[in-house]
Structure 1
Amino acid sequence: MTARGPERAGGPTHDPAAGNIPRPPLTLVTRERLHAALDLGVRSSLTVLVAPAGTGKTVLLSDWVARRQRSGQPVVWVPGQTPGALSEVLERVADAGDSAVPDPVVVDDAHLLPPSAVAEVARVLQQSPDAVRLLLATRYDLPLPVSEFELRGMALTLRSRDLRFNDAEATELVQAHAQNATVEDIKVFQEKTAGWAAALVLAARTLQASGDAVWPLVNQRPVLDLLLGETLGTLEQGVQAMLVSTFGATSLTGHLATILSGDPGAGSMLADLAGNGLLVTEYADGEGGDPLYRYHPLLVELLRRRIAASAVDRALVVDAQHRSALYYENRGDTEAALRSALGAGDGPLIGRILLRHGPALVSAGESDLVAAGFEALPSGYVDQHPQMIGVRGLLRRVTGDVAGAVLDAGSADRAAGTDAVTPDDEALAADAVLLRLWESRYGWYDADSAIGRARSLLAPAGGGGRTHAVLGPERLALLLIELAAAEIWADDLDAALGHLDEALVTARMAGHSRLIAGGLAHRAVVQYARGQVQNASRSARGALDAGGDQGLPEEYAVRAQVVLGFAALCELDLDTAWQCHQLVAATGVAGSDAVVGSLRAMLRAVLLVEGGRLDEALTELTTDPASAGPLPSFLSRDLALLRFRLAILVGDQAGVETQVKVLERTGNAAEAELIRAMTSIVQEDIQTTVKLIDGVLDRPAVYPPLAAAAASFRTVLLARTGDEAAADAALVDTLNRVMPQRLLHALVPAGHEPAFLDRLRRQTTSPNPHPFAAVALEKLAGDQAAELQAGGMTLLARTRPHTRAPVPRRLEAVINGARIQLTAREADVLDELALGSSYTEIAQALFITENTVKTHLMSLYRKLGVEKRSAALRVARSAGLL
């Protein structure tokens, strides 16, 4: 009987999200003392079976589960190989609360759980011990609070000594396999095996086959190895050949066993072995299909040793591996296909798999496997098959052999020629273009040429989509992603987004998770460049999720993390933004990829500003982080806007003008005009500045974060005019611009204005409040304004009416018999001089450059007839100018 879930309330309680419950062997000894212990254990939160392989843990648990099923009691079975299923089960039972006694959850092979899953189990036990009844079978102790729970009477542990078969159980087990076993035979077995289940079964089968219970110790081999070997020797040759041919598979169906062994009766053989308990376990597939079989690790090890010593058995394995490679390749499991081809030692088959599927395997993180494939090729194979050069170059690229990859890029170009005649030629042409696209992003190859070649390859003159079909979905998706990456660097974001969408469709069709992640990571950068921060964040999270437990290649992961850092920054979550920055900075990609390097530098700089570390931020942005040529316009724009903000904070008027010119020069004219409109408040009246801002904001193509910042700036200015209705309307417009992508960081300068926060607060309590007003108020009110505490000053703060330097009462005076006339700016400088300010401080306070300060001072000294500060202050006071 298969140990399936019992029926309850009209339906089965076996959880399809969990695992397949193994069937107990037909020759089963029911161990009542251990069943009673398990029954007692599952009344508490945790029961643990800790014992090595071959002690009967799985058989015991499957028999206990089957008995519960027959009595209509619920149980959930989860294999340790499926930690995702365990997470689902834990989440459900935890959510159920304490309203009822939870169903027992049996986790077999719990030692196979990854550390994250074990940590999750520990967390659930600590936080909700009454919500779970866990029964874990493991080969070694896990980092769980077992001792603590035992002291509280909430845990039970069974170890090897508890699982040993006692004399009565051993007698029943041996006689189930060897009906003629005597009391003396069983006594010998008990003495030699110490109640070890696997050894007892194998000893009994040896006795049944040979009639001899003498315990041999030939060549001092381990007892179990000897028993296994002698037991295998009693099996029919066909069964032995089937085991030798199939032992390398981690999980078997009868159909796969037939393919690997070439024996149509392989499925029946497996069923018989599992039924007799010969270290072959049968599992139901959970969906009513063919059962699955797994070999005990001890049996696998014995078969491996046997093959090493037998040329005949090695020949069987080679044939099976060859059949396996073809089988897995036809099923699309290219990793298993290449491993099988390596096992067969078939050079041409290895080469064919590498050529067809090498790029996909490299992209899937299997560079070690692909490298092993190249090492296994016969000497001179690549020279005789130049179509392999491109695959080797892609392998060298991801393994850090940059020089080798560059050499292979050139060789692949030469080998590709001009006309692709065969599918292998087209694969080489695609690989050559892939390498050239990669080189173009680092300035080693002309980007326009690489992009043109890729587009030509993807849209051949003959049409019909032949290239797409011949390349296959994985290579095609990789080519589209690399093309998009080059187009991002070349400033063609529309084309990049189109190719990324096509790459995602293709990668999803192929089921290639890492290529899906690559497409999403690059798309996140494009979306961020357009100011679609939340869309970019979703794409970045999708990329990381697609990587799963295996993770992502660094070049994809850093893009996702840096975008998530900016998304967190936009929501004023500075801690998360710093964490993302640190993850990016810890990789080598930020130092070599200009796009990632630029984004990392800007993320760090803006976080330094938010932390009040203005000098460090200025140092971070001293030079452009690019080595492969001029930056794309979106990076130039973002760098210029960040440098503009810093220039405002430190009072560097010349720096402001420089960044406006950078914006104009790099194709960001609307942003430059909007900056000019905002800074006009220094020279113009409020109405003029508002009118200038309105004129630019009416355009649809202004960078959304800057547009949101300008709208909030306009709101503050309108409030200063006393036009309450216009200011309220401007605030609503600001919130409408901020809300879709949660661009809260754009509001920070306005958020430092008490009047802006007051207006936002009134908006939250109005009869018809804006849906985002409360969020904005909460975030902005909690901002620490560290950049202001460090001495920075925003443009709004510099132009507040009450912060303008007071005009001296007198601008005219008689000095040494001559009448002089000070300018208003000279009077401002004189006032700052009287406060003891340095040149730098005067420049910051008056929002002028230090050179301008010196020019005003020279004029001032000349008019006062002095040469130094102290004399100027003394004369000015005596003349009534101070």
Structure 2
Amino acid sequence: MSARAEVRPFGETRFRVPLPSDRFIHRPRIAGLLDEHMARPVTLVTGPAGTGKTLAVADWTTEGNPPGPVAWLSLDRGDASVSRFWVSVLSAVAAVVPAALKGVQIPDSPDPSLLHAIAINAGGTLVLVFDDVQELDGGTAIEWLEQVLRWPPEGVRFVLVSRHDPPVALQRLRLEGKVGDVRVADLAFTRAESQELLEDSGISLTAPALDQLLDTTGGWAAALRLAALTLRIADDPSEAIDRFGGLSFLVSEYLWDEVFNLLPPEYSEFLLKTSVAGRLCAPLAVALTDEPRADEMLRTLAREQLLAHEVEGTGWYRTHSLLTGVLRARLKASRPELKEELQRKAALWFEENGAWVEALSHAVSSGDWDFAGRMAMRSGAVPLFTTDRQPYVEAMARVPAAATVDHPELAVAHAVAAYCRGDRSAVEALLARADLSALPERRRDLATITIESLRTAQAHRHGDALVMREAATRADELLAGITAAEAPGWAAYSGFSHALRGVAELWAGRPDVAAQLLAQAVESYPAGPFNPYGAVYYGGLLALAQAGSGRLALARGTAEEALGVARTHGRSRSYESQWAWLALAITLLYAGDTDGAAAARSHCTEAGGEAINPFVAATLQILTARQALGTGDLAGARRGAAVVRAAVAKRPGMLTPMALLTSLRVDLALAEGDTGAAAAALAEYDASPIGRGEAPAPRPDAVSNCRARFFLATGRPERVRGAVAHLLDVVGAEAVQAWLSVAAAEDRLRHDSLAIEAMGRALDLAESEGAELFLLRQSRQLAAALRRHRDVVGSHLPLVDRALAIAEGATPPPGRRALVPLTERERAVLYYLPTMGSNAEIAAALSVSENTVKQHLKSIYRKLTVNSRREAVRVARDAGLLDGLTRTNPN
């Protein structure tokens, strides 16, 4: 194979301008039309396949005069979803003008105003070319695009290339003269352009023959190209034109008899075998044809216009839909066994190259249902772990339901599609039908991995931690013995078995174990441009696990990091961000920032929407009730507890919410002075599967801490230390509560030295973990121990003074704001802010670029919730971040 540029990943071709061949006929007339229409915000370029519309627009991007950078997006069916379409648009912009997205705050949902900001960053005007707009038909993206086009953002020019007029209402813009049209009549080759095309192929026709050819083809670009192939080697061009019987004839026998049969045999066979793929690159062509000269042949065919064009700089070629249709029909009719074999080869090639759904689509097209089932289990089902599920659902829709009877793997694959559609009953029915007993062992293992992963996802969606834990553990054990050769897709997503287990352990009450597993998931999630799902979803879950294990400061930083990624990509109110918002709400509440906690809960509810996870919904309600309890709103706390109690009764597998609810009920009863109700709540918990040892006990255990508070309230301080002994050697919020209870108990037992020691440990942990609320909430019960600590030890005085003020009924002095931790480099930049030196001077002092300083400043302002350098210095001083800085230069 001749030397060639490296083939780029398949997905990157969508953001590249198609590259015309050397024999492309430049048509200044079309470029002039497009230049003229650029005075309008919207240009429609419409015509059926083969009219040359895509290449005409592509040629204009280089030969015409676009008013600004051109971002090109070749659409596919996956873009019919507005969320995927929005990501694709941003990716197209990033591919050509990455600087246009720098410093731009991506909104939570697709926002036309952002396009205006991007256009300004791109130099004032940005051209967005959307090719194959017909692919959006019937989806939510076309509805959003219609809204955008009704009031086009200033500075943006839209060029819509489609086989038909898109279903968008543009009447107002048309009446205002703001829509330009390039129609079939404009795209048709003129007499002069047709003559140039023929002469470029070495063909000279008489005027009557040329007129006859134009009349027959209607100036249709594809027809003229195909005619030229015949005329170039015809003995009598006029006679060949007579046989050229029009478009309907052209689409059928003419292509085969008059074009392909005139090609060298190896080229005809090459085209026939590669017709199973809609796009081609040299390695794929080699896999399909075993032709070592595939790269050279692709370039020759592109030059002769038998391939539509090369996508610039990628090594990929698009094919003519007209030619492909004829070739596929011929292949199916004359050599069906070969067609099936080629589809299998294509499936295996795409699987090997990481295009899992493309591989599944070819496997389905083969009609070999056994092979399609194997492919689905090996790799095709991995969209279960992504947001881009629609292409998988569409591929499986082409598999008849009858095929699932004899092919259990297809029943499982259909169940995955049903899960993606949100059809719970169909999932259960299909899995019940999937009898795997007759499958070979390794295939049975792969199908079982998919089933258990699906069961885990279903249990997560519906709130059953016990089923989650069981299914996720089973999937993880099976996947450990699977090699990449056996299941390339699962191998690439192997970290998700840990993630599934991590989520299960989190809601089963083992957040410490969950944190270890979820950290691996965050690291292993496949990254990609504008692909924030893993960082946001698993990062949020990791933050929640860290919060659950009491590491509140660490959890807050992790949650903010995940939400920072979400904000950058406009996903901070998307479904996957609910976990990070919940973690942030927990950390803010226990840091004493009740307003911030309430705002985070509101954002969490908005992100989850109607599909909010039941675990999240229950925990949110508990947090709301906790905040009400802290402000003395006992009625509000009771209402919240009742709502959660009803939810837990419906879902007995919600183990963590069950423990948190028990803690809330005990503390509420104690606040009301009803120790009998507190005892009843504890007895109910002790009779639950957790209390009976039938389910794993959550750890750290919130119930043990509330039990200790119950012992204090009922005059049994001697039992407190034993109740929380297992929490005294851990680090985190639960340990803060445990030591506070021990401090109060030892104080009542007149063990002064032990009380002082316990209070010191509690204060150390409360400040380091940002868990001050526990101390402030119990300050009245701890007043004596706090005074003794202040008088004897004298540490943590601001926190102690605030707690004593609350205990004595006075207004507490303001505490330092709870802030998101800064990175080491951000702290270095922060230290220079009081100098009021310029960004360039700070950059020079730190040996970094000025742009890096700007990025650090943006992050500092966001974390300190300020808008200026002066505010940042003030807040940093109040928070103690500049304490001990004796000179303006930290070096």
Question: Displacement, 1:738?
Answer: 3.4
Corresponding position: 1:599 with 2:623: no
Partner of 1:497: 515
CA displacement, residues 192-245 of structure 1 (integer Å, 9 cap, x when unaligned): 444332333334444445533556698994765566454344434432332232
The structure-2 alpha-carbon separation of the partners of 1:391 and 1:160, relative to structure 1 and needing over 3 Å to count, comes to closer
Equivalent in 633, 648, 668 of residue 703 of structure 2: 668
Q: Distance in 2 between matches of 1:509 and 1:91?
A: 18
Q: Mind listing any 5+ residue stretches in structure 2 that lack a counterpart?
A: 1-11, 76-87, 101-115, 687-700, 716-743, 749-754, 803-811, 823-869, 881-891
CA displacement, residues 674-702 of structure 1 (integer Å, 9 cap, x when unaligned): 7999999xxxx9xx99x999689437389
Partner of 2:375: 353
Native 8 Å contact 2:19 2:309 kept in 1: yes
> What SS is found at the alignment partner of 1:698?
helix
Equivalent in 255, 260, 263 of residue 283 of structure 2: 255
The structure-2 alpha-carbon separation of the partners of 1:240 and 1:698, relative to structure 1 and needing over 3 Å to count, comes to same
Q: Distance in 1 between matches of 2:149 and 2:781?
A: 50
Corresponding position: 1:336 with 2:354: no
Native 8 Å contact 2:189 2:221 kept in 1: yes
The structure-2 alpha-carbon separation of the partners of 1:493 and 1:292, relative to structure 1 and needing over 3 Å to count, comes to same
Amino acid paired to 1:317: K
Native 8 Å contact 1:487 1:493 kept in 2: yes
Q: Distance in 1 between matches of 2:131 and 2:118?
A: 26
Equivalent in 69, 79, 91 of residue 85 of structure 1: 91
Partner of 1:326: 348
Greater Cα radius of gyration, structure 1 or 2: 1
Corresponding position: 1:739 with 2:819: yes
Equivalent in 643, 649, 666 of residue 620 of structure 1: 643
Q: Distance in 1 between matches of 2:122 and 2:411?
A: 64
CA displacement, residues 143-191 of structure 1 (integer Å, 9 cap, x when unaligned): 8997777787877443333333333333333444471322222222333
Partner of 1:302: 326
The structure-2 alpha-carbon separation of the partners of 1:408 and 1:542, relative to structure 1 and needing over 3 Å to count, comes to farther
Q: Distance in 2 between matches of 1:322 and 1:458?
A: 25
Matches within 5 A, 1:716-755: 730-731=801-802, 735-736=815-816, 738-740=818-820
Total equivalences in the alignment: 700
Q: Mind listing any 5+ residue stretches in structure 1 that lack a counterpart?
A: 1-15, 460-464, 743-764, 776-882
Question: Displacement, 1:295?
Answer: 0.8
Amino acid paired to 1:738: A
Corresponding position: 1:632 with 2:655: yes
Native 8 Å contact 1:177 1:208 kept in 2: yes
Q: Distance in 2 between matches of 1:326 and 1:133?
A: 41
> What SS is found at the alignment partner of 2:224?
helix
Partner of 2:497: 479
Question: Displacement, 1:641?
Answer: 3.4
> What SS is found at the alignment partner of 1:282?
strand
Native 8 Å contact 1:107 1:134 kept in 2: yes
Question: Displacement, 1:33?
Answer: 3.0
Q: Distance in 1 between matches of 2:134 and 2:577?
A: 26
Native 8 Å contact 2:601 2:620 kept in 1: no
The structure-2 alpha-carbon separation of the partners of 1:305 and 1:561, relative to structure 1 and needing over 3 Å to count, comes to farther
Corresponding position: 1:311 with 2:342: no
Corresponding position: 1:48 with 2:46: no
Q: Distance in 1 between matches of 2:761 and 2:711?
A: 10
> What SS is found at the alignment partner of 1:302?
helix
Native 8 Å contact 2:641 2:665 kept in 1: no
Q: Distance in 2 between matches of 1:95 and 1:528?
A: 37
Equivalent in 9, 30, 37 of residue 34 of structure 1: 30
Native 8 Å contact 1:508 1:516 kept in 2: no
Native 8 Å contact 2:465 2:655 kept in 1: no
Question: Displacement, 1:281?
Answer: 0.9
> What SS is found at the alignment partner of 1:86?
helix
Question: Displacement, 1:496?
Answer: 1.9
CA displacement, residues 581-622 of structure 1 (integer Å, 9 cap, x when unaligned): 2564623x74xx6x3452365478689999x99496465245
The structure-2 alpha-carbon separation of the partners of 1:370 and 1:477, relative to structure 1 and needing over 3 Å to count, comes to farther
Amino acid paired to 2:514: A
Partner of 1:200: 224
Native 8 Å contact 1:640 1:659 kept in 2: no
Q: What is the root-mean-square deviation of aligned Cα atoms in Å? A: 6.2
Equivalent in 194, 210, 218 of residue 186 of structure 1: 210
Q: Distance in 2 between matches of 1:425 and 1:307?
A: 34
CA displacement, residues 260-285 of structure 1 (integer Å, 9 cap, x when unaligned): 12333433333222212345212232
Partner of 1:238: 266
CA displacement, residues 702-740 of structure 1 (integer Å, 9 cap, x when unaligned): 99687426437859999xx9x9x9678645998458334
CA displacement, residues 611-654 of structure 1 (integer Å, 9 cap, x when unaligned): x9949646524535245547535652266438956996xx7867
> What SS is found at the alignment partner of 1:50?
strand
Native 8 Å contact 1:426 1:467 kept in 2: no
Native 8 Å contact 1:484 1:499 kept in 2: yes
The structure-2 alpha-carbon separation of the partners of 1:58 and 1:489, relative to structure 1 and needing over 3 Å to count, comes to closer
CA displacement, residues 38-93 of structure 1 (integer Å, 9 cap, x when unaligned): 44445x46462422133322333343444469xx9985452334533333357745
Amino acid paired to 1:161: A
The structure whose RCO (Cα within 8 Å, separation 6+) is larger is 2
Amino acid paired to 1:486: A
Native 8 Å contact 1:274 1:280 kept in 2: yes
The structure-2 alpha-carbon separation of the partners of 1:548 and 1:112, relative to structure 1 and needing over 3 Å to count, comes to farther
Amino acid paired to 2:363: A
Matches within 5 A, 1:139-538: 139-140=163-164, 156-177=180-201, 179-208=203-232, 210=234, 211=237, 212=239, 214=241, 221=248, 228-229=255-256, 230-278=258-306, 280-285=308-313, 291-308=315-332, 310-312=333-335, 314-346=336-368, 349-357=371-379, 360=382, 362-363=384-385, 365=389, 366=392, 369=395, 380=406, 400=424, 401=426, 403-404=428-429, 427=446, 473=491, 476-508=494-526, 519-520=538-539, 522-529=541-548, 530=550, 531=552, 534-535=556-557, 537-538=559-560
CA displacement, residues 523-544 of structure 1 (integer Å, 9 cap, x when unaligned): 3432343446534634765997
The structure-2 alpha-carbon separation of the partners of 1:479 and 1:695, relative to structure 1 and needing over 3 Å to count, comes to same
Amino acid paired to 1:491: G
Partner of 1:877: none
The structure-2 alpha-carbon separation of the partners of 1:390 and 1:525, relative to structure 1 and needing over 3 Å to count, comes to farther
Q: Distance in 2 between matches of 1:415 and 1:701?
A: 59
Question: Displacement, 1:373?
Answer: 7.1
> What SS is found at the alignment partner of 1:491?
coil
Corresponding position: 1:708 with 2:773: yes
> What SS is found at the alignment partner of 2:506?
helix
CA displacement, residues 98-157 of structure 1 (integer Å, 9 cap, x when unaligned): 799657646261627877699689869968634x56655444556899777778787744
Q: Distance in 1 between matches of 2:877 and 2:643?
A: 34
Native 8 Å contact 1:321 1:341 kept in 2: yes
> What SS is found at the alignment partner of 2:648?
coil
Equivalent in 649, 653, 664 of residue 641 of structure 1: 664
